[in-house]
A and B are shown apart, each in its own frame.
Chain A
Amino acid sequence: MINVVLTGIGGQGTVLAAKILAQAAQNRGYHVRTAETIGMSQRGGSVVSHVRMGNGGERVASPLVSNGQADILIAFEPGEAARVLPLLKKDGVLVTASRVVQPVTASLSKTLYEATPVIEALQAREGKTVVVDEAPLLEEVGNPKALNIILLTVAMGCGVLGLTQDEFRQAVSECLKPRFVEMNLKAIDIVNERLGLV
Chain B
Amino acid sequence: MTTRLLMGNEAFAHAALEAGVRVVAGYPGTPSSEVVETVAKLHAAGSAKGVHVEWSTNEKAALELLAGASYAGARTLFTCKQMGLNVASDALLSLNYVGVEGGCVLFVADDPGPISSQTEQDTRRFADFAKVPVLDPANVEQGMDMMGEAFALSERYRTPVIVRSTTRVSHSSTFADVADETQAMQPAGFTKDDSRFVIFPARARRGHVEINERLAWISREASGDAGDWETPNGGRPGDLSRFNPVCQHGEDPKLGIVCGGVSTEYAREALAMLAQAGELPAYRFMQVGVPFPFPDQAADVFCEGLEQIFVCEELDCVIEDAFRRLMGDRAIEGKPVARVMGRKSGDAPSVGENTSDDLRARLARFLGVEDPAADGEGFDTASVAVPPRPPVLCAGCPHRGSFYAAKRALKKMKLRGVFHGDIGCYTLGNAKPLDAVDTCLCMGAGITMAQGMGVADPEAKHLAFVGDSTFFASGMTGVANAVYNQHDITICVLDNSTTAMTGGQPHPGTGAMLMGPQTESLTIEGVLGALGVESVQIANPHDLQESIDAITRAVSFEGPSAVIFRAPCVNLFRSAQKAHIDGETCTGCKRCITSIGCPAIGYNGKVAVIDPAQCNGCGLCTQVCPFDAITVGGAE
Contact = CB atoms under 8 A, between A and B. Distances in A.
B340 to A, nearest CB: 24
A68 B387 contact: no
A68 B384 contact: no
B599 A104 contact: yes
A82 B384 CA distance: 10
A64 B356 contact: yes
A70 B374 CA distance: 11
B389 A9 contact: yes
A94 B597 CA distance: 32
Given A40-B116, A63-B265, A85 B379 contact: yes
Contacts of A109: 387
A83 B386 contact: yes
Contacts of A113: 386-387
Contact of B269 (A19, A37, A62, A83): A62
A46 interface: yes
B532 interface: no
A61 B374 contact: no
A112 B268 contact: no
Interface stretch (A27-35, A153-161, A178-186, A190-198): A27-35
B432 interface: yes
B357 A66 contact: yes
Given A61-B269, A61-B272, A83-B386, A67 B603 contact: no
Contacts of A142: none
Nearest to A25: B175
Contact of A89 (B30, B376, B383, B386): B376
B30 A33 contact: no
Contact of A79 (B30, B357, B389): B389
Contacts of B392: 43-45, 103-104
Nearest to B264: A61
B375 A102 contact: no
A46 B428 contact: no
Nearest to B374: A68
Contacts of B614: 101
A7 B444 CA distance: 34
Contacts of B116: 38-41
A33 B174 CA distance: 5
A69 interface: yes
Contacts of A61: 265-266, 268-269, 272
Interface residues on B, range: 35 or more
Contacts of B265: 61-63
B368 interface: no
Contact of B30 (A19, A39, A144): A39
B94 interface: no
Nearest to B267: A61
Interface string A75-115: 00001101101111110101000000111111111011100
Most buried by A among B388, B428, B501: B388
A23 interface: yes
Interface in A128-149: 144
A35 B168 contact: yes
A63 B605 CA distance: 42
Interface string B501-521: 110000000000000000000
Contacts, number: 202
A112 B393 contact: no
Interface string A2-42: 00000001100000000100110010000111111111111
A66 B356 contact: yes
A64 B613 CA distance: 30
A183 B378 CA distance: 37
Contact of A45 (B5, B171, B389, B433): B389
A141 B374 CA distance: 39
Most buried by A among B5, B266, B432: B5
Contact of A85 (B168, B266, B356, B378): B378
A83 B376 CA distance: 12
B266 A26 contact: no
Contact of A111 (B385, B394, B594, B604): B385
Interface in A43-60: 43-46, 60
B548 interface: no
A38 B30 contact: yes
A66 B593 contact: no
Contact of B386 (A63, A118, A125): A118
B568 interface: no
Given A63-B168, A63-B265, A112-B603, A43 B391 contact: yes
22 contacts: A19-B173, A26-B3, A33-B172, A36-B171, A36-B172, A37-B171, A45-B392, A63-B174, A64-B356, A67-B373, A67-B374, A67-B376, A79-B389, A82-B379, A82-B384, A89-B376, A90-B376, A102-B611, A106-B602, A107-B593, A108-B594, A113-B387
Interface of A: 9-10, 19, 22-23, 26, 31-46, 60-64, 66-70, 79-80, 82-83, 85-90, 92, 94, 101-109, 111-113, 117-118, 120-122, 124-125, 127, 144
Interface of B: 3, 5, 7, 30-31, 115-116, 139, 168, 171-175, 262, 265-266, 268-269, 272-273, 355-357, 360, 373-381, 383-394, 425, 428, 431-433, 501-502, 590, 593-594, 597-599, 601-605, 611, 613-614
